[in-house]
Chain A
């Protein structure tokens, strides 16, 4: 008896299990992990800790929004440049606002504009020149990092506007930091984009089957272009938001979010093969990953064991529902 027949067996005997979609599993897992934290460390379960975890997850979740779109678009879609774009956007805001509250909007525009520009080049390479997304976006990572070095000449000069920390990272309303509201608003916007617009419909269509989509009148190249541009834009926005929390910029700032952004999408049940997924899955995925991280930190394990445990948990998570179709089916 193999794993899949076990799971059908479980579904038959417990009908409610059938309604457990991957995003829901991830959300339940997040809640479970949070209370498991209480067993490891008695003072882990409290409202401040919960707020802090959601706050940390929000940054990852915002950065992973564009990644969700790119992965849904299929065609081996993946965006490895989000990490570099996050750093670029944070650097630009840091440098050009130079701590001036009045210039925050310019920082916002610069961040999103830079992200959009990188995404545009990614889209050109992928849609027009048919360079595989993985290497195109990897190559653009080098270009973006190179640009950062040329602009900064190795010195991160500037300052974060104090107002950004106040709006984004510190408690704003009901003791909740602004970034949580921004994340929720983005969640609503992403849901509308994916489920209520023509673009969303076309995105799922090209993710499922590009040939079929083209034959039914979808302009595949155009949708791919828009997707990578949105991904760049959202990563730029993520970098802008992240600066409100990090307060400083360094070259590897965004790198720590690159692969977690992909993992959050996958843990949230979006198929890496494209055509299926949701942003609220990614939101749950970001919560799960942040919780695992906080939990391991709370346990104060050696870094080596932390790494091994994260690897095993990730493997276990994707074994539960990241499996591909059997060749026999």
Chain B
């Protein structure tokens, strides 16, 4: 491969640095925890990770389109409340399917609210989605004033299964990556990246910027519905603030995955890798016997180092150029 093509390959696949980081962290993790890749352990980790992965995928679509969504976590809380309201221990498969559809539907409505405000009222995404997050928390609390809920045991078993010796979560990730590859070659993806990298130029060259921007928030709402579904299936109950902390994690994961926060660059693969990095860091700290009260600090320092990695690279390159 000549250098121009290599450079092109690297700019298109922004997640490569993160993949390298994940590989390093995973080998450290494996050396400390030798049952890491055993099916049972792997399935357990992936099962608890899937909700954040789904949420980060939605977040990355918004970020690529040049926005940000600070309401996704509270949206998950609200949608878990919807699911817990609709599902009980005796629900049939059809009931559950309807509940999941309802959660995704409400997610799409909530996302449309964000999309309308940001794209058509032209409000700044950070404060807009911060404001709507209050509304979603309020609705979550209305629906579920007390923690609770029950799901059929078969459902939890269904979510924990490992067809052909591979955790269910990997199939979900595989489908997402496949769909993303297909979407990347459509005009919609071109519009999405154009909107994110330079909305003014995109608008001038005929890209329906407002529609595209609107759609990114709808995607985030839809994925919040999927995340809420995965969360409900794995925990089996809900409480009105269960997803609130996922918002900031989803943003950090997106950035760790190499997606540029200013938009127009990145992909969902990076977001998935980013979530895994966050989890593996936590694993390493746990198995390295870091003292309890130092764990938060060590965790944060590693994340800062991971964020600084590409920056250091850029700094050195800028200094060499001078």
Tell me the A residues contacting B by CB distance below 8 Å: 3, 76, 78, 125, 128-132, 134-136, 138-143, 145-147, 149-150, 152-154, 259, 262-263, 266, 272-273, 303-312, 314-315, 318-319, 322-328
Contacts and interface: CB of A to CB of B under 8 A. Distances in A.
A321 to B, nearest CB: 10
A324 B300 CA distance: 34
A143 B300 contact: yes
Contacts of A147: 297
Interface stretch (B32-40, B97-105, B186-194, B301-309): B301-309
Contacts of A305: 138, 142
Given A262-B127, A304-B142, A311-B138, 12 more contacts: A76-B262, A130-B314, A135-B261, A136-B307, A146-B295, A146-B301, A150-B293, A273-B124, A303-B141, A305-B138, A318-B131, A319-B123
Contact of B307 (A131, A259, A319): A131
Contact of A326 (B122, B303, B315): B122
Listed residue (B68, B145, B255, B298) with the most chain A CB atoms within 10 angstroms of its CB: B255
A323 B293 contact: no
A307 to B, nearest CB: 3
Contacts of A129: 308, 311-312, 314-315
B297 A146 contact: yes
B122 A324 contact: yes
A314 B134 contact: yes
- 3 nearest A-B pairs in the assembled complex, by CB-CB distance: A146-B297, A142-B300, A129-B311
Nearest to A313: B131
B28 to A, nearest CB: 20
Nearest to A325: B122
A327 B134 contact: no
Interface of B: 68, 117, 121-124, 126-128, 130-139, 141-142, 145, 199-200, 203, 209-210, 248, 251-252, 255, 261-262, 293-301, 303-304, 307-308, 311-312, 314-315
A146 B299 contact: yes
Given A138-B251, A322-B127, A323-B122, A131 B311 contact: yes
Given A142-B300, A263-B127, A319 B137 contact: no
A3 B128 CA distance: 17
A146 B141 CA distance: 30
Given A135-B307, A146-B299, A307 B141 contact: yes
A142 to B, nearest CB: 3
A134 B293 contact: no
Contact of B301 (A143, A309, A327): A143
* Main SS class of interface, B: helix
Given A145-B296, A259-B130, A318-B124, A307 B135 contact: yes
Nearest to B305: A139
B263 to A, nearest CB: 10
Contacts of B294: 146, 149-150
B300 A139 contact: yes
19 contacts: A128-B315, A129-B308, A129-B312, A134-B261, A135-B307, A136-B304, A136-B307, A139-B300, A139-B304, A142-B300, A145-B300, A146-B297, A272-B124, A305-B138, A305-B142, A314-B134, A315-B128, A323-B122, A327-B210
The winner among B137, B209, B294, B304 for most chain A CB atoms within 10 A is B304
A312 B122 CA distance: 16
Contacts of A272: 124, 126-127
Nearest to B262: A76
A146 B298 contact: yes
A319 B294 CA distance: 44
Nearest to B204: A327
A153 B293 CA distance: 6
Given A76-B261, A125-B308, A143-B301, A312 B135 contact: yes
